[in-house]
Amino acid sequence: MSPVTDQQRARRAGIAAFCLGLLCFAGGLSSLIVNGVNGLNSMNVTLGALDMVVCGVIIFNAGHR
């Protein structure tokens, strides 16, 4: 079994953050749809999840360099 490099760890962390962000985004978006535009907490969850997706992409790209 070969040792795991930092590049592989960064790719895996990026994929994990991206997937978790998409999952949170789906939950926040569905909550926003159900509660209407007045659901400020749902909006915060949705925006936070988008931030997580972007961070996942950045981490994944950093693993390619």
Is 22 part of a structural domain of the chain?
yes
Predicted confidence (pLDDT) at residue 55 exceeds the cutoff of 80: yes
Is 1 part of a structural domain of the chain?
no
Number of separate domains in the chain: 1
Is 36 part of a structural domain of the chain?
yes
Predicted confidence (pLDDT) at residue 57 exceeds the cutoff of 80: yes
Higher local confidence (pLDDT), 28 or 20: 20
Distances from the Cα of 37 to the Cα of 11, 23, 27, angstroms: 36, 20, 15
| pTM, full prediction | 0.72
Is 31 part of a structural domain of the chain?
yes
CB contact set of 50 (below 8 Å; sequence gap of 6+): 21, 25
The range of the structural domain enclosing residue 56 comes to 6-62
Is 55 part of a structural domain of the chain?
yes
Is 30 part of a structural domain of the chain?
yes
**Paired tokens of 24:** 């949170």
Higher local confidence (pLDDT), 39 or 58: 58
